[in-house]
Amino acid sequence: MKKILITGCLGQIGSELTTRLREDYGTDNVIATDIRKIDSPVCDEGIFEILDVTDKQKMQDLAEKYEVDTLIHLAALLSAVAEAKPQLAWDLNMGGLMNALEVARELNLKFFTPSSIGCFGPGTPSENTPQDTLQRPTTMYGVTKVAGELLCDYYHAKFGVDTRGVRFPGLISYKTLPGGGTTDYAVDIYYEALKKGHYDSFIEKGTFMDMMYMPDAIDAIVQLLEADPSRLVHRNAFNITAMSVDPEQVAASIQKVMPDFTLGYDVDPVRQKIADSWPDSLDATCAKNEWGFAPKYDLDRMTQDMLEKLSKKMQNTSMAN
Ligand code: VAH
């Protein structure tokens, strides 16, 4: 992997991945793209191009212009937004993915796109969910993730495209707010803890979901893309996770740092129904065995770092305003 085009760079993953890849591979070797340009280090501190992923010709023109060898496709609607706009979610998530796979096929690019724990459904074993198991999701997001996994495996088997992917759990980060996900409560809780000392969770007590701190997620993308292909038994997509938590456990972790923090509930039935259809905990053995996946952050270490970095960010923002 030497020169990389990334779609969806202004999203929660893209904004941190772009910065990391510029550090690792050189600023001029990372082509950041998104559907709009904003005032952001992603747009201002390296190569940035406007790209709507439903425009295949533009995607191909950019890949050829910059002579990239790798395409990381992140642009997609997340679960809650996709459930509110299912037809748009299909068009964007599947149309964008097909365009990206076709560009990768025609230009012989290494390819990464994420799947999600959302690719599983109520019939999947919910504890220690196996790498290879039943995938019958009941959300449009999940349908696009399963279809996406199958499409990426097809492009590898049929056309030899070097496709790789992971099934991301909920991702927690302080740099960019997530957009329209079901696991976003696990990000919101840290912001609200610092702002108000209290948070009303839209996900119910006792709802366990896999989660991961963003540094571990970025490490996983780079590790998988640099992995020896001869070791890969699986490709699209690997179960990965760092922890399985519910709102109570996240609150208890915060209270170790902020003893007066309190947690309440204002459950969102739409996102609760989505969360209830997902597994409680994944088995990440294949990722560990096939490419050395090894997350560094558990819940308490993530909480300490989130609260420290987020409070600095909020202080800087309030000073700037
Ligand atoms: C979502 N954050 O909630 C995303 C993710 C596992 C969840 O796919 O839709």
pLDDT tens by residue, 261-283: 999 999 999 999 999 999 999 99
Structure tokens at 77: 């609607």
Q: Order of strands across the sheet with 166-168?
A: 115-116, 166-168, 238-239
pLDDT in tens, 139-162: 999 999 999 999 999 999 999 999
Residue 35's identity, in one-letter code, is I
Q: How far is CA 35 from CA 20, 90, 92, 136, 309, in A?
A: 21, 17, 12, 31, 28
| pTM of the shown model | 0.96
Q: How many CB atoms lie within 10 A of CB 161?
A: 23
| Ligand 1, atom 3: closest residue by C-alpha | 181
pLDDT over 70 (residue 320): no
Ligand 1 centroid vs 68 CA: distance in angstroms? 28
pLDDT band at 27 (very low <50, low <70, confident <90, very high): very high
| Ligand 1, atom 8: closest residue by C-alpha | 116
pLDDT at 200: 98
Q: Hey, which of 12, 13, 16, 79 would you mutate to test ligand 1's pocket, going by the most ligand atoms within 8 Å of its Cβ?
A: 79
Beta bridge partner(s), residue 201? 265
pLDDT at 319: 65
Cβ partners under 8 Å of residue 113, min gap 6? 72, 73, 74, 97, 100, 148, 152, 163, 165, 236
Ligand 1 centroid vs 210 CA: distance in angstroms? 10
pLDDT in tens, 68-111: 999 999 999 999 999 999 999 999 999 999 999 999 999 999 99
Q: Are 238 and 173 in contact (CB under 8 A)?
A: no
pLDDT at 179: 78
DSSP letters spanning 13-69: HHHHHHHHHHHHH-GGGEEEEESS--SSHHHHSSEEEE--TT-HHHHHHHHHHTT-S
Which domains does the chain possess? 4-169+213-239 (3.40.50.720), 171-211+243-279+297-320 (3.90.25)
pLDDT at 102: 98
Share of the chain above pLDDT 90, in %: 95
pLDDT at 317: 77
Question: Is 141 tagged catalytic?
Answer: yes
Out of 66, 141, 191, 199, the active site residue is 141
What integer best gives the mean pLDDT of the chain?
96
Atom number, ligand 1, closest to the C-alpha of residue 79: 9
pLDDT band at 321 (very low <50, low <70, confident <90, very high): low
* 201 φ/ψ angles, rounded to the nearest 5 degrees: -75, 140
Ligand 1 centroid vs 288 CA: distance in angstroms? 22
Q: Hey, which of 141, 149, 167, 270 would you mutate to test ligand 1's pocket, going by the most ligand atoms within 8 Å of its Cβ?
A: 141
Nearest residue to 28 (alpha-carbon basis) of 54, 76, 65 = 65
Ligand 1 centroid vs 59 CA: distance in angstroms? 25
pLDDT in tens, 198-229: 999 999 999 999 999 999 999 999 999 999 99
Ligand 1 centroid vs 154 CA: distance in angstroms? 24
Residue 12's identity, in one-letter code, is Q
Nearest residue to 69 (alpha-carbon basis) of 29, 33, 98, 15 = 29
pLDDT at 220: 98
| Ligand 1, atom 5: closest residue by C-alpha | 170
pLDDT over 90 (residue 232): yes
